Amino acid sequence: MLRIAAPPTIAHRFLPPIVARFTKANPQLEVVFEVLSSDVLVTNTAEDRHDIGVTDTAVAHDSVHSDLLIASEAICALPSRHPLAARDVIRPEDLEGQAFIVLTRRHSGRTQTDRLFDKVGVRRNVVIETATAVSAAEFVREGLGVALLNPFPIVHQLGSGIVVRPFEPAIPYRTCFLSPASRPLSLAAADFMTLVRKSLT
């Protein structure tokens, strides 16, 4: 058995075709694929309930081993007709008073973003907090405001009605594999990790 877990955006927008390919190539394995919030995923991995997890939440847990998959930097997602869409780069001062869509506070990226805006003294007009980058992007499409998002894995799947621009200063994201630190990685988990990495090349 291989037990895989991921938070909603990664689980729904990135992993399914890879999990399907892996399952077809390993018919002797039972694959369990769970969609969980990142905080639950970390706790469950520490307790050896999953063999491998994929998340972009910062992890500092002695019972969880973390292995970098991809590093990225926040992008600013805007409705396509937004005045700021004419800019090449978005900076904090551009967003003073702008209607803003934020991820809920359980996201480590939310903490980084809040600290940055507090540091530079820019006040955002938060209109909605939401649980996933996918829902945040949909609220941007509906014209509710702008959002700072991890581009992985959704940047090429946003479709019409949204434009993205680089954001400076950089807000870094690290999407990592997680595994229980209490035991060696299984061969199946290692093979799955290799397949996921190959999908990015």
Interval 7-24: pLDDT, tens:
999 999 999 999 999 999
Q: How far apart are CA 30 and CA 43, in angstroms?
A: 23
pLDDT in tens, 80-97: 999 999 999 999 999 999
For the chain, the domains span: 2-70+174-199, 75-170
State if pTM tops 0.85: yes
Q: How far apart are CA 168 and CA 135, in angstroms?
A: 23
pLDDT of the residue at 30: 96
Q: Which residues of 72-98 are buried (b: 16+ CB within 10 A; e: fewer)?
A: bebbbbbbeebeebeeeebebebbeeb
pLDDT of the residue at 128: 96
- Helix, strand, or coil (residue 105): coil
Q: How far apart are CA 52 and CA 84, in angstroms?
A: 40
Q: Do domains 2-70+174-199 and 75-170 have the same CATH topology?
A: yes
> How does residue 58 score in pLDDT terms, banded at 50, 70 and 90?
confident
Q: How far apart are CA 81 and CA 78, in angstroms?
A: 8
pLDDT of the residue at 80: 95
CATH code of 75-170, in short, is 3.40.190.290
Q: How far apart are CA 157 and CA 93, in angstroms?
A: 28
Matching residue, tokens 């005045």: 83
Protein fold of 2-70+174-199: D-Maltodextrin-Binding Protein; domain 2 (3.40.190)
Its sign, for the CA torsion 54, 41, 18, 187, is positive
